[in-house]
Every structure is written in structure tokens, then in C-alpha cells.
Amino acid sequence: MNPVAELSLFDRINAALPQTQCTRCGYPDCAAYAQAIAAGGAAINQCPPGGAEGVRRLSGITGLPAQALNPAHGTEGPRTVAFIDEAWCIGCTLCIKACPTDAIVGSNKIMHTVMEPYCTGCELCLPVCPVDCISLENVTGTRTGWAAWSPSDAEQARERYEFNSSRRKLNKQGNDKKLEILAQAKLADLAGHSKITDPGVLARKRSIIEAALASARAKREANGRSD
């Protein structure tokens, strides 16, 4: 049996996207756009990095007619890589947080550097830089769309994005758990952690904290079931 035939429509669509995770399609990532196409909720011409070739590939997979790239989502162009002017970088880490593939290294108050092989040219680092020290450089000349990209580039970007997403989710869960433990400790001795002495006010405050903790637990459990 042909293993490609066993893939779901979503998987085949997602595999045909360049995985730049640029959000220009109007969705938070390539997988979300692929899911929308598979569900019939999005057109196949919303991915500028894939360009005209990308539209043709999606047309072949979905059976939908090929059409021109929708200019509302951008235009096809060469592959670009972000570069940081280290003389102006203030080490704010905002670009690191915005990068979907962990292509930027550095730490707080220390200049940042872009690891070129991992940069997808998504441009998400540009608007968050407070000193405009990031620029884009054309690294493929006149080659655009899939001619400027490759399946191995896309696979690497997808893997790095998924690892990035998992790491951030785990970090958030860990931080949320620490905050919950802290809140529970204060709840156990609310009077000792508050300037309020009125029993009625303290009781209302306790109810609010307990409700917030219950909501946080329910949300965490729901997220655990959906993973």
C-alpha cells in the first residue's frame, strides 16, 4: 500500500506548506492553515512563502482549482534571513520570544544573534524590536517561493516550531503550577498574608481565590485531556 495514500488530507496539505510559521495566511501557524483548508474554511492561495508553486501543490492535493496568490496575504518573494545590528541591540529578548523556530540566541541585556540556517524569514521579529535593529537580507537572489525553499528546509522548520511550542507550553505549565502553589499557601493563612482584618471581607476574598484556583485547575485538566 502506498504510504502517502494513508496520510490524512490534513497531513498531505500540511506537508505541502513551507512551514515558515509566518502567520501571513491569517492563521497562527501552518498546521492551523492546513486544518482550515482541509475543513473547507480557507482558500489554497493564502501562503506567500509557498507562492504559485505552493498553490499548484495544494490544488493537486485538494482537487480545488489553482488560482493566483491572494495579494491580501502578501506577495511571493525570495527567501530572506533576519540579521541583527549588534551595535544597536539592547538585549530586550522580545525577538527571541517572537521567533517561532528558536533561530535567535541571546539573553536579557546581552546582544542577540540570528542562526541563519534556522531562520525562515517569517518577519515576526521585526515589529517587536523596539530599536528597529533587525533587517532582512535576500539570500536566494531571484529564486522565489518553493524555488527558494526545499522540503528539508520545511521539515526542519516544522520540527523546530513544534519543539519550540512544546517547550513554551511546558514552561507555562510549570510557571502556572508555581503560582497556584503560592496562592494555595497564602490561602491557607489568608489573614496573615493580608492587611484586611474584617472577617466578612476576608471571607469574600477567600471565595474569590478559591474560585480562581478551581478555574485554573479545570483549565489545566481540560488542556491535559486535549493533548
**Residues 151-173: tens digit of each pLDDT:** 999 999 999 999 988 887 776 65
pLDDT recorded at residue 192: 65
* 214 band by pLDDT with thresholds 50, 70 and 90: confident
Surface-to-core class of residue 57, CB atoms within 10 Å of its CB (0-12 exposed, 13-18 middle, 19+ buried): buried
pLDDT recorded at residue 1: 45
Higher-confidence residue: 146 or 6?
A: 146
For residue 16, give the nearest of 46, 70, 54, 44 by alpha carbon: 54
Cell of 209: 481565590
Mean pLDDT of the chain: 87
Is pLDDT of 2 > 60? Answer: no
**Residues 168-192: tens digit of each pLDDT:** 777 665 566 666 666 666 667 666 6
Is pLDDT of 69 > 80? Answer: yes
Coil/strand/helix, residue 92: coil
Q: Is the separation of the CB atoms in 146 and 54 below 8 Å?
A: yes
CB within 8 A of 121, min separation 6: which ones? Answer: 20, 22, 49, 79, 80, 81, 82, 136
Higher-confidence residue: 93 or 174?
A: 93
